[in-house]
Amino acid sequence: MKKLLHTLNSNKKQIIVAFLITAIAFVNKQNANAQVFQHAFSYGGVDYQAAHKIVIDNDGNKIIIGTFRGTNVDFNPSTSASFLLSSVGDNDIYIAKFSSTGNFIKAIGIGGVGNDAGNSVATDNVGNIYITGWFRGTVDFDPSSNVANVVSNGESGTDLGYNGEVYLAKYNTNLEYQLAFNIVLVVQE
């Protein structure tokens, strides 16, 4: 994964376009003594995207969690198809799933109007996906037409995440919402 800044000169205005190229190489799991390059791919858009963690489930699928911002961010690395997501707020959470050969399966975006981040992901033996990170304000953790709002008890200002709250959310193998809750830390003086 690599962030690149590219400066364009257009009508004497400097436009800084930040984009992410995510190239992921995987070690051949069949031979523990050899490291064999399998494949690489990229996805994203012209605004901010960051992949924070990747896991491989029991079927060899790659599940990536991260943070993204912008409209029409393409999570499908294919040149012949696209899968566009747009952030609701400043920064939103994404989960993207790719097959063992790197083919796009699905992606979901989760977020509210504030800054939200996806920091870690894990799977269990039946393919459920667990994510954690932090969020601010109110976030709908259900990417379907249903609503599963979780409300932060922390500060909900516009800074980049300080005083937000930790969440834990669960999705099934098809990235369908199962549950989400916040973890509140109470400090007594």
CA torsion sign, 125 to 28 to 95 to 114? positive
The model's pTM is 0.75
pLDDT at 1 over 60: no
* Strands of the chain, DSSP E: 2-10, 13-21, 49-56, 62-68, 73-74, 84-85, 92-98, 104-110, 117-123, 129-135, 138-140, 149-151, 165-171, 177-183
If one compares 144 and 33, the residue with the highest pLDDT of the two is: 144
- Joined together, the tokens standing for residue 106 give 């699905």
The tens digit of pLDDT for each residue in 95-129 reads 999 999 889 999 999 999 888 999 999 999 999 99
What residues does each domain of the chain span?
Answer: 48-183
